[in-house]
Structure 1
Amino acid sequence: MKVAANKQLVDANKQLAVAANNQLAEMDSTAVLLQHNGQWDQNKNYINFDVCGIVIRSDCNYNKLIDVICNELNLSTTTHSQLYNEVAKTEEAASNSDDEPVDYSVAEEVADFIDYVELVSNQIIEMIDERHRNNEEEVIDIDDDLVITNNRHQEISLSQIYKDKETLKTVLSHYAINNHFQYCVQKSCKKEYLVACLDKNCKWMLRASRNGNTNQFIIRKFSHIHTCALEIRLKDQRQATSTIIVDMIKHKFTNIKTKYTATDIVRDLKHDHEVQVKYSKAWRSREKAIEKVRGKAAESYAELPSYLYMLHRTNPGSYIELKSDEDGMFLYAFVALNASMKGWPYCIPVVIVDGTFLKSTYGGILLVAAIQDAEGKIFPLAFCVVDSENDDSWEWFFDKFRKAYGVREDMSIVSDRHESIIKATITLYPEVPHGAFTFHLLKNMKSKFKKNSKKFKDTFFAATNAYTVKKFEYKTRELDKIDKRL
């Protein structure tokens, strides 16, 4: 007779057993479904079977389980032994004969039967143990003030209550790092969390379980003394995952100006916790920490229209523009606040424009226009985010700048010698003089005439600071004497 079952039945067994546990609690037994008298198809699925139910006590072992099944199916234990004998004969025939074909059907049937019985018996034992633990561990009504919610909680002790399993896991990881030991997870499910020291001979262990139907986890058993060797505890720290490192360093990135590199992370973990991590893991942890504190760059761009709308609402009179490409993706953004527009008439009419690289995920360029107030202090006028410094981006910037500020008497524009800026100012500010930064000029001259760079610096600045044409021409002749190409 064929006796087997599809492994998919295991889940059904669990559900049936849980439903029947209340009725069978006094009997200390578990109900299980059994499939039999079926056939195996080509895909090794058990089909065309009969189903019956059996009750298994908690003290059931493998042999008792076989007896229960045989009694239910009207089989004798002798029949079961005969099946094993058939397997032995088949194996012996296979070993003694190289030519004659051997029928393995009986052997395969018995092997499948044994595998399934072992699988079901393990599920049953685990289910009964879990039910016993739930019966032993009463549900506790806990004051919210006693529940641990802080991931960086320092100490662990018996009967502590955590808001959920993830909080307990994070606290435990920090605890292992700070106390210089490692642990391994022996069991982790929705209702229980069991860990032990990495050394199997060590007595350190912790078991926590769920508090009834809540998400809270309570430490039910905790042996805090280590009996393992020190070199095992100080081996590579497996609890120092990137997720835990993120939790340790994320406060470093609350200030946008803070520079905290992967090298700094490697150094601090080694110094503060005696944990050695690779640069690659430190770099990944840094990226995750920045994302956790400041959010994802893509999500920030998605919120840009809402941000600009609220910026205009809270600063009425400002000039704000947002431009997207044909696919609706971000392209340019221009902002000139009302406060800057009101201060514009009272500042020195020399507009300084420049661009700088954005060190973000998607890069880009920040274009800025500034001016000096009556006291010579920097006064911001407008800023613009673009993809790169090209003809289109600078022309778009000056177009929006002119709409926001217009033209003033004696106004002039100063920038570096970027060709796109020169083209844009000629197109949109043809009536306004355009000058160049002396700093950029000197930098270009030094790179081109390295041999005489120390000789012409003072003379160059004297020429750029000249207030009369006569003095300027005199200083330029001095430059010619140093190098006519200047």
Structure 2
Amino acid sequence: MKEYTLRRSVDYHVYESEPLIFYTKCTQYGSGCDWLIKVSMISRKYCWVIRRYNGSHTCTRATISQDHSKLDSNTIAEAIKPLVEADPSLKVKSVIAEVQSKFNYTVNYWKAWLAKQKSVEKIFGGWEASYEALPIWFEAMCHKEPSVVVHFETMPTYQGDDLVTDIRVLHRVFWSYYLCIRVFRHCKAVVQVNGTHLYGKYKGCLLVTVSQDGNNNIVPIAFAIVEGETSDAWHFFLSNLHEHVVTRDGVRLISDRYESINAAVERSNGAWSPHRAFHMFCIRHIESNFLRKFKAPYLQKLVVNIGNIKFFKDIRGRFASMKCVTSVYESGARRTLTG
């Protein structure tokens, strides 16, 4: 019914909609159009029978370039499923373009966005169901591969000020696969940690640790979903990382040296301090922080080159080159690169 209505650029009102009866009329019924249809279900034959039909619409809409009341988000969600399945990050403007191409209507941004969310949920499941499945998923993973490391932290649920008994929600989770743990034994003694924000319905951060093999390939070794890049969250992540994955001494820990990471390193009881580990700056963050502070893109490459020098004695010459430009940049870079 919706497809016919959209194709003909007409509209209808539903007067009766029951499990066994459906009765609808044109929105302009009695004003130039007599279209109506009434159908009923024959239970014993499991089929619908048309009981009354007044023929085709004799009305037309003034324009077909705008939105249509029957082109709802559910209809659009079903129409764009192949696109969303192929690319879950499909842009909303691409949804609008697809609707325009397929139905010859222009829907607003909100309807297109809502349709995409519904399509994602139909294909991949909803946010609630996905989070509820996490414990089952990790349990199955541990059952299949007992060497997998998974560590949960939960927190109580409150309804107003009252504690809800027997219900706890996810707070943090750390996990690492056995192959990741095993392959790190053959990687360089270097790990880099970073986090990225989660932008779904439930906010938080995904923390990741990577290392590097002898061929300079990036190897992911540990993961965590936490409430944010707080000191407690990084302490939870780094503690589990040291206990289960990075168990050898002399490892270089590379980060952006964010305050919460520094605080977590200080709380590690020496696990991430010399000589068991050495906390180092990430060159990429040095580059971006220097550029943000001094607005000197022509010195950007020089700062990166200084950061990549292997021997401290060779740094002096590069600092001298920067000092020739201005002592402000030189002193700023020296503080950043040497701590």
Query: Where on the TM-score scale, by shorter chain, does this alignment land: which range?
Result: 0.7 to 0.9
Larger radius of gyration: 1
Distance across 2 between alignment mates of 1:406 and 1:462: 29
CA contact (8 A) 1:199 1:232 kept: no
Distance across 2 between alignment mates of 1:314 and 1:354: 29
CA contact (8 A) 2:66 2:106 kept: no
Per-residue deviation, 1:224:
5.4
Does 1:268 find its partner at 2:98? yes
Tell me the residue number matched to 1:417: 257
Tell me the residue number matched to 2:160: none
Tell me the residue number matched to 2:219: 379
Tell me the residue number matched to 2:22: 193
Residues 258, 232 of structure 1: alpha-carbon distance in 2 compared, 3 angstrom cutoff: closer
Distance across 2 between alignment mates of 1:234 and 1:202: 22
Match of 2:85 among 235, 254, 257: 254
Moved more, 296-305 or 343-352: 296-305
Does 1:369 find its partner at 2:209? yes
CA contact (8 A) 1:174 1:244 kept: no
Give me the identity figure in percent: 23
Q: Looking at both structures, which has the greater relative contact order when contacts are Cα pairs under 8 Å and sequence separation is at least 6?
A: 2
Please tell me the residue identity of whatever aligns with 1:459.
L
Tell me the residue number matched to 2:33: 202
Distance across 2 between alignment mates of 1:198 and 1:441: 65
Structure 1's unaligned 5+ residue stretches are: 1-171
Tell me the residue number matched to 1:346: 186
Tell me the residue number matched to 2:229: 389
TM-score under structure 1 length normalisation: 0.59
Structure with greater proportional strand content: 2
Distance across 2 between alignment mates of 1:236 and 1:415: 50
Residues 454, 229 of structure 1: alpha-carbon distance in 2 compared, 3 angstrom cutoff: closer
Tell me the residue number matched to 1:322: 152
Tell me the residue number matched to 1:461: 304
Tell me the residue number matched to 1:226: 57
Does 1:309 find its partner at 2:139? yes
Tell me the residue number matched to 2:121: 291
3-state secondary structure, aligned to 1:346: coil
Does 1:429 find its partner at 2:272? yes
Residues 199, 281 of structure 1: alpha-carbon distance in 2 compared, 3 angstrom cutoff: same
Moved more, 384-393 or 220-229: 220-229
Per-residue deviation, 1:221:
5.2
Distance across 2 between alignment mates of 1:423 and 1:329: 26
Residues 472, 234 of structure 1: alpha-carbon distance in 2 compared, 3 angstrom cutoff: closer
Q: Deviations over 1:6-51 (max 9, x none)?
A: xxxxxxxxxxxxxxxxxxxxxxxxxxxxxxxxxxxxxxxxxxxxxx
Tell me the residue number matched to 1:48: none
Q: Deviations over 1:401-450 (max 9, x none)?
A: 11212433542110112112123234232220111111111111111111
Residues 202, 312 of structure 1: alpha-carbon distance in 2 compared, 3 angstrom cutoff: same
Tell me the residue number matched to 1:471: 314
3-state secondary structure, aligned to 1:408: coil
TM-score under structure 2 length normalisation: 0.83
Q: Mapping of 1:30-429 within 5 angstroms?
A: 172-200=1-29, 201-212=32-43, 216-220=47-51, 225-229=56-60, 231=62, 237-255=68-86, 257-327=87-157, 328-426=168-266, 427=268, 428-429=271-272
Distance across 1 between alignment mates of 2:202 and 2:60: 49
CA contact (8 A) 1:182 1:233 kept: no
Distance across 1 between alignment mates of 2:91 and 2:49: 38
Distance across 2 between alignment mates of 1:176 and 1:247: 17
Residues 455, 277 of structure 1: alpha-carbon distance in 2 compared, 3 angstrom cutoff: closer
Q: Deviations over 1:222-256 (max 9, x none)?
A: 5653322453888852211222222222333335x
Q: Deviations over 1:186-205 (max 9, x none)?
A: 43233221233333233544
Tell me the residue number matched to 1:34: none
